[in-house]
Amino acid sequence: MPLGKIQLQIVSKLVEMGRLDAEQRNALVSRPDELNGDALDKLLQEEYKVSPFQCLVAKARALNLAPYNVARYRVTPKTFERIPQDFCQEHLVLPVGQVGEMLLVAFANPFE
Q: How do residues 96-112 score in pLDDT, each as one tens digit?
A: 998 999 999 998 877 66
As to burial, measured by CB atoms within 10 angstroms (0-12 exposed, 13-18 middle, 19+ buried), residue 112 is: exposed
In three state form, how does the secondary structure of 59-93 look?
A: HHHHCCCCCCCHHHCCCCHHHHCCCCHHHHHHHCE
pLDDT per position as a tens digit, 49-100: 999 999 989 999 999 988 888 888 999 988 999 999 999 999 999 999 989 9
pTM over 0.85: no
Question: Phi, psi at residue 94, to the nearest 5°?
Answer: -145, 120
Summarised one tens digit per residue, pLDDT across range 88-99 is 999 999 999 989
Q: Tell me what the pLDDT averaged over the chain comes to.
A: 91
Can you say whether the dihedral through the CA atoms of 28, 26, 47, 110 is positive or negative?
A: negative
